[in-house]
């Protein structure tokens, strides 16, 4: 059978906002080369591949940018959960388990229709102050404070105005050794607790519209700063989107809506890379 392919906008209640993700449902695992080629063809920040043929109650899930496989992606996991519910692979009342490079991730559907994901928290732990000068040059701003790093580097700027005005030099930013750069600031709107932007040119995504996995780092940071465990972040990209965050020890619950855009059949199946 040819795989089915969906494109949906994660963390958005309306099409053409939030973060677009492709979700490919596979009957059996596909070759890495084919998945990377499909992700390059889709040319979105992430394309997710879910093997549904022999799930046994859980589903293998992998994520690819146009240029690389990544270990964790929030918005494409949100999209994958929504697609499994919407397509009837999983009933609306049944939690979904995904087996990934970041371990077992669970997803459930709220009565509101929002998808809730249980992710590992990734608070910053390593000092990255040595990268201040390169980051100032790459982000073209001296108003930066490096909070620390995990897979990503977390940077704070003093105001929403500074955050929104950033115009990075992508080639310079791509040379910094990190999956991505998370930049955050206090909010300038009443419907959220913090703002962020995410830059990932090193993995083929200059600016990601709404980055669920970044909130695994942002959640613990702002939870400590604000003294609360339930927060709402707004990613201030051109498309924009909200992420509800619940910090629970070494786990983070991320939630958001999904808006579908298209559904189709892949006419260039994985068999072309087999044998």
- Name the token pair of 167: 């115009």
Give the C-alpha distances (Å, rounded to integers) separating 178 from 57, 70, 118, 175, 222.
34, 12, 24, 9, 21
Judge whether 116 and 74 are in contact, CB under 8 Å: no
- Name the token pair of 219: 């959640």
- From the list 46, 110, 169, 230, the catalytic residue is 46
State how beta strands 241-248 and 251-256 pair: antiparallel
> Quick check: is 46 catalytic?
yes
Rounded CA gap, 199 and 264, in Å? 30
Rounded CA gap, 84 and 120, in Å? 22
- Name the token pair of 152: 């990503």
- Catalytic positions are 46
């Amino acid at each position: 059978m040819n795989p089915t392919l969906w494109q949906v906008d994660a963390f958005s209640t309306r099409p053409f906002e939030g973060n677009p993700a492709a979700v490919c449902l596979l009957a059996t695992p596909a070759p890495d080369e084919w998945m990377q080629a499909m992700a390059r063809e889709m040319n979105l920040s992430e394309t997710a591949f879910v093997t549904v043929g022999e799930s046994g109650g859980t589903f293998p899930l992998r994520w690819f940018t146009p240029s690389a496989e990544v270990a964790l992606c929030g918005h494409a996991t949100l999209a994958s959960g929504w697609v499994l519910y919407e397509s009837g692979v999983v009933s609306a009342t049944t939690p979904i388990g995904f087996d990934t490079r970041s371990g077992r991730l669970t997803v459930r559907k709220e009565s509101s229709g929002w998808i809730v994901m249980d992710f590992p928290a990734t608070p910053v732990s390593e000092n990255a102050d040595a990268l201040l000068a390169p980051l100032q040059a790459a982000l073209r701003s001296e108003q930066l404070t490096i909070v620390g790093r995990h897979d990503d580097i977390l940077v704070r700027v003093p105001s929403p105005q500074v955050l929104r005005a950033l115009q990075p030099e992508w080639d310079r930013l791509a040379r910094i050794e990190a999956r991505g750069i998370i930049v955050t600031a206090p909010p300038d709107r009443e419907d959220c607790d913090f703002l962020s932007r995410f830059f990932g040119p090193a993995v083929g995504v200059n600016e990601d519209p709404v980055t669920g996995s970044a909130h695994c780092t942002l959640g613990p940071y702002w939870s400590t700063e604000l003294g609360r465990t339930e927060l709402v972040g707004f990613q201030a990209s051109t498309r924009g989107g909200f992420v509800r965050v619940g910090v629970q020890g070494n786990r983070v619950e991320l939630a958001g809506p999904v808006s579908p855009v298209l559904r189709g059949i892949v006419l260039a199946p994985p068999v072309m890379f087999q044998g």
